[in-house]
Amino acid sequence: MKIGYAFKDCNVIYGDAIKGTDTHMTILIQENGLIQEIGKASAVTVPTHYQTIDCSGKYVMPGLINAHVHLFADGKPFTLSASEGLLNFAFHHILDTRLGRNVLKKRMKKNALIALHSGVTTMRSVGEFFYTDVLLRDEIKANQFIGPNLLVSGYFLSVTDGHGAPYLALVGDSPWEGRRNVRINVKNGVDLIKICVTGGVTDAKRVGEAGRLQMTEEEVAAICEEAHKIGMRVAAHAESTEGVRVALKGGVDTIEHGAEMDEEMIRLYKNNPRALKGYTAVIPTLQAAYPSAKLDPSLTKLNTTVKENARLVYGSMLKGLQQAIEHDIKIGVGTDAAMSYVTHYDLWRELDHFMRQTKLNASQVIELVTKSNAEILGIDHQTGTIEVGKYADLIMMEQNPLENIKALSNVAMVMVRGNLIQTPSVNRIQAVDELLDTVWSI
């Protein structure tokens, strides 16, 4: 049975840089999980049947939104460099079995809960096996367990021998096959469509393949038109300038990863007539490429092809982010959690990276990971800021993240849709954390 709560006498960071921070505030949360009232602690009357949480001296802000994750892995290093025959055997005889699917689902649920306990109250999953992400989302919505808000894409849409194909993708080699694959994913209950316009780092067989163009503009446009006619957004994996250009011209709603851009691309980001909302946002994933690009392969255990592709992608992606800031392009935050050295609990590292590599301050990156992400994903009417009428997706910290963004690595309390996690617990991967902690000395 759900109850109402009062977060009493807290410092509120609203998630909106313009609104800033208020001190000595009380937040009332109704039994239905919605924020009922926000006001000075001295002026708010707490209903007698509400549970009061003493937040004196503590900081409360919107839950974090990770706009680019995969739930099938946890961030321990891996490559897909095995032979095609071995991969085929592993997929069909291990993963795609009743036991394999059950193990996968438990693993994905565990990763979603790790993220939630670290303060990520909303996740956009952009590529999973067997529509397991759909099943998890539906179980959360049915209150079978308390999990993060999930937006899910099911399988990638890719081309023959393209990124993620054939195991993690529906393959199509024409505009009409692309439309068919959109319809298949929609039939299976996805919230968005994820396409692979270029190659990727994890499954590239040679240097330069990570950003190589794979889809045509005609294919991208057909997929976008098919999704947009039912109000569904399209996210595009694109890791090169030409790949981003094709994705933009086709009308995608978000560019995942991104690359250096020219004037034509800047205009399309800001005014894209084919995109669902008339613009396209960029969601860099700096953290996914940086360790692989900068650390010695003897430490990361990743092969030299992965390292060199990561280096090429990282440099162009970072340049694209810096240009996006300069030209006021809509920016979101995602980590590519599940990839090597990207865990589900270290979203703060991406924000820290933004601040180190750009002129953004803590208030601005917090807005990106809350308010801006919610707007990009089309859920800003429900979450992303602390406002009356929105879901109580909240996190509480002992320290002020506006003074030190690493405060987000130690969340004292989490609330999602009014469900309180009073003592969040995260099982960390010590070897990964120790290696990442050294990366800034390079």
Distance between CA 276 and CA 296 in Å, rounded? 42
Q: What pLDDT shows up at residue 248? A: 98
What are 327's two structure tokens?
């030209």
Beta bridge partners of 11: 59
Distance between CA 79 and CA 86 in Å, rounded? 13
Specify whether the CB–CB gap between 55 and 396 falls below 8 A: yes
Beta bridge partners of 54: 8
Tell me the backbone φ, ψ of residue 138, rounded to 5 degrees.
-65, -35
CA dihedral 60→428→190→62, nearest 10 degrees, is: 10
What are 301's two structure tokens?
């255990």
Q: What pLDDT shows up at residue 93? A: 74
Distance between CA 36 and CA 16 in Å, rounded? 19
Distance between CA 144 and CA 17 in Å, rounded? 36
Q: What pLDDT shows up at residue 79? A: 61
Specify whether the CB–CB gap between 277 and 253 falls below 8 A: yes
Specify whether the CB–CB gap between 288 and 336 falls below 8 A: yes
Specify whether the CB–CB gap between 389 and 29 falls below 8 A: no
Domain 64-377 matching CATH 3.20.20.330: the answer reads no
Q: Which CATH class is domain 5-62+384-421?
A: mainly beta
What global pTM score does this model have?
A: 0.96
User: Mind listing the pLDDT tens digit of every residue in the chain (442 residues)?
Assistant: 689 999 999 999 999 989 989 999 999 999 999 999 999 999 999 999 999 999 999 999 999 999 999 999 999 987 665 556 666 767 877 898 999 999 999 999 999 999 999 999 999 999 999 999 999 999 999 999 999 999 999 999 999 999 999 999 999 999 999 999 999 999 999 999 999 999 988 776 777 777 899 999 999 999 999 999 999 999 999 999 999 999 999 999 999 999 999 999 999 999 999 999 999 999 999 999 998 888 877 777 777 777 888 888 899 999 999 999 999 999 999 999 999 899 999 999 999 999 999 999 999 999 999 999 999 999 999 999 999 999 999 999 999 999 999 999 999 999 999 999 999 999 999 999 998 988 764 4
Across the chain, how many H-helices and E-strands are there? 14, 17
Q: What pLDDT shows up at residue 84? A: 64
Q: What pLDDT shows up at residue 203? A: 74
Select from 168, 169, 167, 163 the least CA-distant residue to 182: 169
**Residue 354 three-state SS:** helix
What are 19's two structure tokens?
């609104």
User: Sign of dihedral through CA atoms 249, 231, 127, 322?
Assistant: positive
Burial of 69 (0-12, 13-18, 19+ CB in 10 A): buried
Q: What pLDDT shows up at residue 80? A: 60
Q: What pLDDT shows up at residue 53? A: 97
Taking CA atoms, 255 is separated from 74, 251, 297, in Å, by 23, 10, 28
The DSSP H or E segment spanning 305 is helix 304-326
Q: What pLDDT shows up at residue 86? A: 61
Distance between CA 224 and CA 61 in Å, rounded? 35
What are 396's two structure tokens?
């509480």
Domain boundaries, the chain: 5-62+384-421, 64-377
User: Sign of dihedral through CA atoms 33, 35, 36, 42?
Assistant: positive
Distance between CA 419 and CA 4 in Å, rounded? 10
170: left (phi over 0), alpha (psi -120 to 50) or beta: beta
Q: Give every CB contact of residue 3 below 8 A, 6+ residues apart in sequence.
A: 31, 49, 50, 51
Burial of 389 (0-12, 13-18, 19+ CB in 10 A): exposed
Distance between CA 91 and CA 93 in Å, rounded? 6
Specify whether the CB–CB gap between 274 and 224 falls below 8 A: yes
Specify whether the CB–CB gap between 120 and 64 falls below 8 A: yes
- In 192-334, which ranges are E strands? 193-196, 234-238, 254-257, 281-283
